A and B are shown apart, each in its own frame.
Chain A
Amino acid sequence: MNWDDGTGGNVPLSRQASAQVPLGYESVSGDRWAPGIETVASRSTGATNNCSATVSPRIPPSLSRRVPDRALRKRRLCLKACVDELEAVRNATADAIQKANSLAEARSHLRALWDLLEGTPDSEAVEEMVNVLQIALCVESPEALAPRQLVAIHSVLAKMYDDPDFGDEAANDLTQELIEGGVDVFREIG
């Protein structure tokens, strides 16, 4: 191989012929061989813009959230534990002592979540709901909670577990669900 071949060496510079690629009738520059890349031709037709509108930039969920993933995981842990304990309280076959223990455990998980939320101004709505639930579970014995109240509390906790970073509107829905379930959500300020 001659080192001068094709390397520029001492061969005089000349414009190389561009590769001729047959384009289909409907093709527009840039859309077939390099989709999304704007060319002079595609700019004129707006093809790039059309394509870019269909593929929206995806922001990873972690970036759209206000609360770090680690904090959310901790919240979920507390809520899951609380949901599990409440299921034990609702379990008809469990005896009175088991139920009382589970209720106490549920309360301690909520307490942990309450402590976790301290000093998080972005999570006001979550803090309000945890406070409401702590008040709802502040009873002498599990028997003081009617089945429909337990169902409502359990359902609200499960929804909070699904999304532990919610805002005022969701908190309003959850509060309404508790009230409709017969839970006296504002007992503490009465």
Chain B
Amino acid sequence: MSFVKLDDAHRPDSTEVFLDTSVHCCFHKGETLRPRLNWLLGLFSWKGTSTYSKVEYGNVILAAAQYYLRMLRELKSVARVLEHVGHVLAPQHREKRTWAFSLIQTLGKTEEERTRRAEASLRRLLKLGTAAVDARCDAPLADGTRCHWGRTGLRRGRDGKYTWKTPNCKSSNKACNVDGFFADRRETFELIKNTIDGLDASLLTDELKQFSRVIGEALEAPSMLLDYSCGCKLLADVLIAVDSIGYHNFATQNYRESQVLTKVLGQRCYYLPNNPENGVAILEDDGPNGEEFPTP
């Protein structure tokens, strides 16, 4: 298996594509990804995704928007916030370095205006919430897990302020169908586990090992998935991948895990690397007929 860089002449086998959460997050990763993302999406006329992606989108994008908004209100300057994020924030909070506010620097005449614009944009993003995922895809979204948090994770306080709450779902208070989804697709999950277990050590990642372990536990008791932090959260990529059954094309930024999952599910894996030199790549089984992807 190897990734092959696509050229402009590439035409997909079918017209639909499934977007995993990493692709939804790409919309907030700046100008290096945007043209390639638009090109990739332009190849397909139908874009689908899983409702479970909304939780991950909330945990990544909305939580970061909330953080930036709080910092903006505290420091009252977008420049100071960027400095804080760049120099003060500990390395383990790398995921907070999501935005560069590049265009705001161009539009705002003064620091005051740039700050006002940044705040307006972040507020809008937060208020829109996970509806951004719906808006970028064709309805209906795949909803195997019937994820409850994706619909209710964004809360509006009495002061009118919006907050994204980190999921705290418990099996004692069942609110979704993740266990039923697992039970219905038991054989597929089992196949994924067996494939991971049979992988060459060079292809195994910590995340893939975790998938195998959690699937093993869920095969014994699917209800364990109802506990967010020790259940479905640890199996998120697999749940989304299994929800994508029926789609022939799968777009992602997580090539390490997706190259295994798409192979099991018989899908073509489109990979959008962060490095613009690598363009957009596709996973080829053998006999690549494009330019071979150097180091994914």
Contacts and interface: CB of A to CB of B under 8 A. Distances in A.
B122 A172 contact: no
Contacts of B120: 124, 127-128, 131
Nearest to A190: B30
A118 interface: yes
Nearest to A178: B135
Interface string A152-190: 000000000000000010011001100110001111111
A100 interface: no
Contacts of A131: 117, 120-121, 124
B99 A189 contact: yes
B27 A135 contact: no
A114 B30 CA distance: 24
Given A179-B135, A190-B100, A172 B121 contact: no
Contact of B125 (A127, A168, A186): A186
A187 B34 CA distance: 9
Interface string A103-145: 0000000000000001000001101110110110010000000
Contacts of B104: 188-189
Interface in A41-85: none
Contacts of A171: 124, 127
B50 to A, nearest CB: 18
B19 to A, nearest CB: 14
A189 B28 contact: yes
Interface residues of A, number: 25
Interface SS of chain B: helix, strand, loop or mixed?
helix
Given A128-B120, A131-B117, A131-B124, A187 B134 contact: no
Given A134-B107, A179-B135, A190 B99 contact: yes
B137 to A, nearest CB: 10
Interface string B90-112: 00000000011111101100000
Interface SS of chain A: helix, strand, loop or mixed?
helix
B127 A138 contact: no
Contacts of A132: 121, 124
B146 interface: no
A176 B107 contact: no
Nearest to B112: A118
Contact of B27 (A118, A125, A134, A186): A186
Given A187-B103, A188-B121, A168 B127 contact: yes
Given A135-B107, A180-B135, A190 B128 contact: no
Max chain B CB contacts within 10 Å: which of A135, A185, A186? A186
A124 B161 CA distance: 12
Contacts of A185: 124
A179 B107 CA distance: 21
B171 to A, nearest CB: 33
B136 interface: yes
Given A135-B103, A180-B135, A189 B125 contact: yes
B197 interface: no
A22 to B, nearest CB: 60
B28 A186 contact: yes
B131 interface: yes
A128 B121 contact: yes
Nearest to B29: A190
B31 interface: yes
A56 to B, nearest CB: 28
B132 interface: yes
Contact of A189 (B101, B116, B131, B135): B101
B117 A184 contact: no
Given A168-B127, A190-B28, 17 more contacts: A127-B120, A128-B121, A128-B123, A128-B124, A128-B127, A131-B120, A132-B121, A135-B121, A138-B103, A171-B127, A176-B128, A184-B27, A187-B34, A189-B103, A189-B125, A190-B31, A190-B100
22 contacts: A118-B116, A128-B121, A131-B117, A132-B121, A134-B107, A135-B107, A138-B106, A176-B134, A176-B135, A179-B135, A184-B27, A186-B27, A186-B121, A188-B104, A188-B121, A189-B103, A189-B118, A189-B121, A190-B28, A190-B30, A190-B34, A190-B103
Interface of A: 118, 124-125, 127-129, 131-132, 134-135, 138, 168, 171-172, 175-176, 179-180, 184-190
The 8 closest A-B pairs by CB, nearest first: A179-B135, A188-B103, A128-B124, A131-B120, A176-B135, A190-B30, A189-B99, A128-B120
